[in-house]
Every structure is written in structure tokens, then in C-alpha cells.
């Protein structure tokens, strides 16, 4: 568990790196169930000159206490990342999005991530680590649609959470929107909002819902 000073030092390095490289320069913080929640970050904002834009907490919908702190962080100007596919005491993504919007958080300060293909620990009933599994990339797509089906946001607004909001937050100027000069990353949807085609930088990757380009070990 990093100390508050360690967080501050890492954030300062990230900020300087971003300034020198022209990149976003953010400290991406994977939040856990610790009883202090977001307090170390809030303390740094009160006691240093580091801007709130440097800090990017994720997994913030892990529990109600943490998410209450996170909404205040967002109202102060911070960008927060909700994680898809979480269970247990986690706040479901549609509910978390609605809570943030109802509290006055601008939609542009919310993003979604999925941990897609990332390692996930597996615990037994005694909370002992017994193995590792992998998170499914489909959670991002499913949670985005769940926001629409729950009536929290219309489709075009829900799509912002995984497209332009993310690109803007990370200063990826060639991503996130359909426009001349940007990367041709495109999805073609069926009328029932199932996936039909996926293009990455103009290359067809999925056609009629089936992958047409596969990795080395997927054939």
C-alpha cells in the first residue's frame, strides 16, 4: 500500500512526464476496499499544488463509501473511471452513472473500463487466493448497453463513456470520434444493437459478428 507521499511523488513525476511529452500525464490509481478510500488523493489535493487532472482513480464503484468520495472528487473537476463487470458490494454501472449525473457531475468526466483480458484474482470462501482468471472484454459492451436499457442515457450519450470521453481524458487526439484525419476505428451496429462489423484503423476486424483477423494463438 503506497503512502500518501509516495502517491504525491508518483503524481508529480506523471505530471512532468506529460508536460515534456505532450501526453496526458496521469496517475492511474486502482482503488481497493481500504477503509480510507480516496482520502490519500483528497489530502494531496489539499496540501500540494498538484492539479486534480493528474489523478485518475478507477474501480471507484467498488463500494458505496468509496463512490460517495469519488463523486465529490468529480464535482471538484476530477475525471473518474467506472469498472464494468464488478460484483459483490460494487455499485452496478447504470446506477453509478445515474448517481453521478444526479449529483451534477458532467458526463464528460465519466469513463468506463473493463479490465478486458487483464488478470483477475480468484478467492475461496476464506478470502485466500486460489488462482487467477482473465476478465472478459465483452463487459464493456454489455455495460454500455445496460446503461441504455436502464434508461439512464440514450445510446449516443452512453457511447461517449467508452469513446470520446476516454480519448479526451487521455489526450488521444486521433481517437474517439468519427472525423476527417482521425483513426478509422469504427463499429457498425445491427438494429438490435448487436455488433456487425468492427474496423481498427480502417482494417476490417469483425464481419457479421465474427472475427476475421485473429492473433497468433487464435487460429
**83: Cα within 13 Å, side-chain hemisphere:** 23
> Which residues have a catalytic role annotated?
115
Q: How far apart are CA 78 and CA 58, in angstroms?
A: 12
Which class for 128: exposed (0-12), middle (13-18), buried (19 or more C-beta within 10 A)? exposed
Biggest distance spanned by C-alpha atoms of the chain: 55
Cell 476490417 found at: 204
Buried b (16+ CB within 10 A) or exposed e, 144-159: bebbbeeebbeeeebb
Alpha helices in 33-177 (DSSP H): 39-47, 64-75, 93-102, 138-149, 155-160, 164-169
Q: Single out the residue of 103, 65, 88, 91 nearest to residue 78, CA to CA.
A: 103
Q: How far apart are CA 66 and CA 81, in angstroms?
A: 13
Amino acid at each position: 500500500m503506497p503512502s500518501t507521499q509516495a502517491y504525491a511523488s508518483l503524481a508529480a513525476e506523471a505530471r512532468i512526464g506529460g508536460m515534456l511529452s505532450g501526453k496526458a500525464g496521469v496517475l492511474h490509481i486502482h482503488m481497493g476496499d481500504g477503509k480510507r478510500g480516496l482520502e490519500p488523493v483528497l489530502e494531496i489535493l489539499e496540501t500540494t499544488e498538484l492539479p486534480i487532472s493528474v489523478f485518475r482513480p478507477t474501480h471507484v464503484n467498488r463500494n458505496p463509501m468509496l463512490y460517495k468520495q469519488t463523486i465529490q472528487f468529480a464535482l471538484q473537476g476530477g475525471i473518474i473511471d467506472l469498472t464494468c463487470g464488478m460484483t459483490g458490494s460494487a455499485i452496478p454501472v447504470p446506477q453509478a452513472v445515474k448517481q453521478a449525473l444526479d449529483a451534477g457531475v458532467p458526463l464528460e468526466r465519466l469513463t468506463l473500463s473493463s479490465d478486458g483480458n487483464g488478470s483477475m484474482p480468484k478467492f475461496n470462501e476464506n478470502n485466500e487466493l486460489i488462482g487467477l482468471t482473465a476478465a472478459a472484454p465483452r463487459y464493456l459492451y454489455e455495460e454500455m448497453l445496460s446503461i441504455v436499457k436502464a434508461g439512464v442515457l440514450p445510446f449516443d450519450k452512453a457511447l461517449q463513456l467508452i469513446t470520446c470521453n476516454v480519448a479526451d481524458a487521455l489526450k488521444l487526439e486521433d481517437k474517439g470520434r468519427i472525423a476527417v484525419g482521425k483513426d478509422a476505428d469504427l463499429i457498425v451496429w445491427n438494429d438490435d444493437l448487436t455488433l456487425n462489423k468492427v474496423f481498427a484503423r480502417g482494417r476490417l476486424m469483425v464481419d457479421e459478428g465474427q472475427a476475421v483477423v485473429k492473433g497468433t494463438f487464435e487460429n
